[in-house]
Amino acid sequence: MRSPVEHSARKAALRALVRVEAGGAYADRALEAEMAGLSDADRALATELVYGVLRWQIKIDWIINAFSRIRTARLEHRVLNALRLGVYQLLFLSGIPARAAVSETVELVGNDGPRTRGFVNAVLRKIDARRDAIAFPLLRRDPVGYISVVFSHPRWIVRRWIDRYGAAAAMRLCQAGLAHPPRTIRVNTMVTTREALARELTAMGYAVEEGRFSPQALIVSGGPAALAPRERRYYMQDEASQLVALLAAPPPGGLVLDGCAAPGGKTTHLAQLMDGTGTVVAVDTSESRLEAVREAARLLSLENIVTVCADAAGDIELPGGTEEFDCVLVDAPCTGLGVLRRAPDIKLRRREEDLAGRAALQLRLISNLARRVRPGGVLVYAVCSFEPEETTDVVERFLDDNSEFTVEDAAGVLPPACAEVVDRSGFLGTRPDLHGIDGFFGARLRRRQ
């Protein structure tokens, strides 16, 4: 049994951060594992602390190195992440007095001996006293270094974005990656309407607005408590992610294959757009992740989803010997650089060379699953990234080897409000700095009759 001190938001946050850094855990899973038994208020604080530290970790480490006699690279994981939590509370989180931020952080390392406690206390007090004198790289002399540190993104990402978009746009893109993402839900139109659910949530005390692009999207803020993550009337899903199923536009009564289905957001959206008719075959390599798909389908009362555990890059044995589909979705694994505001740990674990590895896998997936598209059918390729290696390059390489497929203009399928997120080539492309939603890419391809 944990003591009250151990069973606190800050203790949970520290343990989660250590699991992310030392154990390679994903932030959401590490945090959920450490928050069992916490009150709603403590869960909210632990979540804010973990995601705040991960968003700002590069800048926080720069600050620690400026005031610590021991470099961050040499500090033990627990001590380093305790310091990060302290700096985040001192400099980035309003409402916590400096004295409390320092003392609570020292308490986190209370069992590490007097020297460690003294070290943490001294570093945080120096940072607090000289917070207005912290020196950063100069924008004019070192734009990559300045943007990387001040806006807390790895140098390789900043360099790529400056080369492609220019320094000012790269800065805005990094700023967008630091923002708290809105709570966006997809209304389950099988059981209610967007208007009816909006009225209901408003009556409960939430502020509700309609999404800009998806006709099923509601953006919810405020309210008496956090929205229930599992609910029959809606599914938590960013608006950019919702556009992928809308781009597929699956036919009611049709046969649809989702080749990389877990955790089920796009799978259930496809089934919903088909009015619960036809069949969506959801494929994923992980049986445990497929359980999340099945659970989402049960919760949303969708009975037209069949799950298959298989590798979509290889041979797939499908139910009933099905060979061809009206629509195939390839929501391929990617670097995730379009969703950094939602999963900030991604930028800390990715390397530039990951782009080539992911692109090779993506090409294998789309090439293999394309064989399942019937003549006249539709193939949709999507990733939560806007990096060329994972987006247009993959589609172009695929089309070079598969002349029976042609690009269809996404503007002809998506709602009229989506005109601004479709480029000249007919591809779907969203960015958080430009559109206020996650960064996604989508291509709709038609197989000739």
CA 102 to CA 116: how far, in whole Å? 13
Nearest to 380 by CA among 284, 314, 447: 447
Cβ-based neighbours of 25, under 8 Å, separated by 6 or more? 16, 19
**Rounded distance between C-alpha atoms, residue 265 and residue 298, angstroms:** 13
Of 174, 327, 334, 384, which residue is the catalytic one?
384
Q: Would you give the DSSP letter of residue 87?
A: H
The label of the residue with tokens 């009759």 reads 449
Distance CA 57, CA 75 (A): 15
Location of structure tokens 């949709």: 380
The residue behind tokens 């390789």 is: 156
CA distance 254 to 276: 10
Residue 395, both tokens? 């589609």
Q: Which residues pair with 307 in a beta bridge?
A: 282
> Under DSSP, is residue 209 helix (H, G, I), strand (E, B) or coil?
strand
Catalytic site includes residue 384: yes
- C-beta separation of 403 from 444 below 8 A: no
CA 387 – CA 429 distance, rounded (Å):
11
DSSP-derived secondary structure letter, 7 = S
- Report d(CA 17, CA 12) in Å as an integer: 9
Q: What value, to the nearest 5°, has the Cα angle with vertex 52 and ends 47 and 54? A: 105
| Catalytically annotated residues | 384
